[in-house]
A and B are shown apart, each in its own frame.
Chain A
Amino acid sequence: MTDASISGAAQDMIGKQAAPQTCEVTRTAIRRFARAVGDDNRLYIDEVYAAGTQWKGTVAPPTFFFTLGYYDDSPGTGLREDGRPIGTELDVPLPVSQTVGGASDVEFGEPVRPGDVITTSKRVADVYCKEGKSGLLYFTVIETTFTNQNGELVARERATFIER
């Protein structure tokens, strides 16, 4: 770890929390997500079938949370050259231009169901860098917590973005 390569402005972002966002989950959104993944499990679309399972009703696929507040604050215009939004609350100022990889660590809680109102809270959990084969690699860890209208944990993801 060569923290001297991380600017003070970038280090100051560690621990920064974005304003929470809420999103209502619809049957349509669940169906579209399952179709985009290519998962034809009836649990996600067939209420009668799903009622007879451990879930006692339709639920969303476990990774459905990726549809909520990923780049949700992104407008359709005025984006960076690479398409990502400019000036989001959790922008970490790093001297990078390319994405070289990423990782996720997800803890799952209660399932997401149609009609749920999910609150998404994001924070910068860590910023660090390492020497790679072709120069410095910068790692940004974003922790996103998804809770439902009952305050129950739905999922918590720690995503690591690797850039250079």
Chain B
Amino acid sequence: MRELKFEDMEVGYEIPPLARTPSNLQLFMFSAVTWNCHRIHFDADFAREHDKLPDVLAQRPLLGSFLCQMLTDWLGDSGRIARLQWSNRGPAVPGDRLTCKGRVVGKSRTADRATVQCEVWIEKDGGEIIVPGKAEVVLTCRQT
């Protein structure tokens, strides 16, 4: 299994991106497993008329879960996520080709924890950032 170490992380390092295109079916399944009955996620007519959205809206927790998957795919067995922040700046709807991206922006080390700070985001085709965010991940060190 590939290993990442704290010492190898440099500011500017780019996290391998994760591409996702949510579908109607995915939004439906995600609402079901999170017991989310909010109509804007499953009724397109309602979403357009009542909330002036372009279509049913991808859930905030689903978008956060995509960012999380980008991080866990990258970390593998070498680390864990300590904190994740994200905000929905623009709507994501079924068929949108989304890409989760991120880069290392800082590192810090205390006696018991080596943390890497990252900027993370989701962009649409064309580069519009609809979900900006931040993450802190904990990695193991080569020397302790």
List of A residues within 8 angstroms of B39 by Cβ: 81-83
Complex alpha-carbon distance, A39 and B66, angstroms: 8
Say which residue of B33, B37, B81, B84 sits within 8 Å of A84 (CB atoms): B37
Say which residue of A61, A81, A97, A102 sits within 8 Å of B65 (CB atoms): A61
Instruction: Report the interface size for chain A: residues with CB under 8 A from the other chain.
Output: 41
Q: Which of B28-84 contact A (CB under 8 A)?
A: 29-30, 32-40, 42-43, 46, 50-52, 60-62, 64-66, 68-69, 72-73, 77, 80-84
Q: Which of B2-52 contact A (CB under 8 A)?
A: 20, 26, 29-30, 32-40, 42-43, 46, 50-52
Check B33 against A53 for contact (C-beta < 8 Å).
Answer: no
Check B51 against A103 for contact (C-beta < 8 Å).
Answer: no
Check A108 against B80 for contact (C-beta < 8 Å).
Answer: yes
Complex alpha-carbon distance, A124 and B43, angstroms: 28
Say which residue of A70, A99, A101 sits within 8 Å of B36 (CB atoms): A70
Q: Is B121 an interface residue (CB 8 A)?
A: no
Complex alpha-carbon distance, A117 and B3, angstroms: 32
Q: In whole Å, how far is A63's beta carbon from the nearest beta carbon of chain B? A: 4
Q: In whole Å, how far is B68's beta carbon from the nearest beta carbon of chain A? A: 5
Q: Is A32 an interface residue (CB 8 A)?
A: yes
Check A106 against B40 for contact (C-beta < 8 Å).
Answer: no
Q: Residue-by-residue, is A30-65 near B (CB-CB < 8 Å gives 1, otherwise 0)?
A: 001101111101010000000001100000011100
Check A70 against B60 for contact (C-beta < 8 Å).
Answer: no
Check A37 against B87 for contact (C-beta < 8 Å).
Answer: no
Check A103 against B34 for contact (C-beta < 8 Å).
Answer: no
List of B residues within 8 angstroms of A72 by Cβ: 35
Q: In whole Å, how far is B86's beta carbon from the nearest beta carbon of chain A? A: 6
